[in-house]
Amino acid sequence: MTSLRLPLLESVFCAVSLGAIVLDSERRIVLWNSWMVKHSGLSHEQVLGRDFFDVCPDLRGGRVDAAIQHALYNNFPSLLSQTLNKAPFALFVREERIQQAVEVTPIAVDAAPRHCLIQVSDVSIAVTREKLLREQAMVLRSQTFADGLTGIANRRHFDVAMEKEHRRAKRGGTPLSLLMIDIDHFKAYNDHYGHQKGDQCLIQVAAALAEMLKRPCDLMARYGGEEFAMILPETDVEQAMLMAEAIRARAQELAIPHERNTDASQLVTVSIGIATQRVDAPVEIDALIGAADRALYQAKRNGRNLIASMLPA
């Protein structure tokens, strides 16, 4: 019976679709199954009886080495973390290195010192699927925070960023400015040139103004239909004024014709409202937004293509 069982066991080991290697207590290879032959390109004859680290020199001193020592000398099994050991063995499928999960288990052997079994599973499909899912999640996340028309940050992104920057400004004792930017007479633009041209105008203005932001914490978002908001951390009133003037000028420089604009240029122009939270006078977010809105209204009332500033109360 025993004489039948050994060849049967060996056949089973060779038939399984994962890598199986058995090492004796001297770390010599006593079993190297067909899966290993197929994917390593090393035949039984080339490996059996040889020192494991002569066959796989790259693994010497690494995590697989430590796991083998644990199994042989401390009788501890190990499961190697996949994130740290993506593909320790040089195993390939169609010239692609196989992503691996490796398990090292001590094995008690009758009348001989302990051996160990190394199991290598191909997890390439799972790893690829996981990577794809992660990428899809990132795309979805960026879509959730991006405006569908202009591609800049949307209102939700603005709300999250505003909360964060407001907290940061309070904690760090730094000023925080908010700009509300609105295209002048945009209803008339749509009526005159059509909604599609209106969309193109929004895309062009959004891209040009967003490009002006150079610091990583600055954010431009589409706040409403034809209204944009800019969060400028660590920016005081004077700096915000300079930025707003540069934005106003940039919008006009785009030279988008707007025959129905009351501005003499007959080009698309923007009005801008500024509100700044001073270091010595912190306010709630709503108060800051309210002040920027009122300032924008003031700029419109004063004639458009203008900038106005309000103190948040």
Binding site for ligand GTP (CB under 6 A): 149, 182-188, 190, 195, 198-199, 202, 225-226, 300, 304
Overall size of the chain counted in residues = 313
- Identity of the residue numbered 241: M
**Tokens linked to 201:** 């105008």
Pairing of strands 219-222, 112-122: unpaired
Cα–Cα distance measured from residue 124 to residue 166, given in angstroms and rounded to the nearest whole number: 45
Active site residue 253: no
**Shortest separation between residue 241's beta carbon and ligand GTP, angstroms:** 21
**Is 91 within 8 Å of 19 (Cβ atoms)?**
yes
Angle (nearest 5°) at CA 203 between 202 and 205:
65
Q: Of the residues 226, 227, 238, 253, which is catalytic? A: 226
Cα–Cα distance measured from residue 310 to residue 32, given in angstroms and rounded to the nearest whole number: 78
Catalytic site residues?
Answer: 226
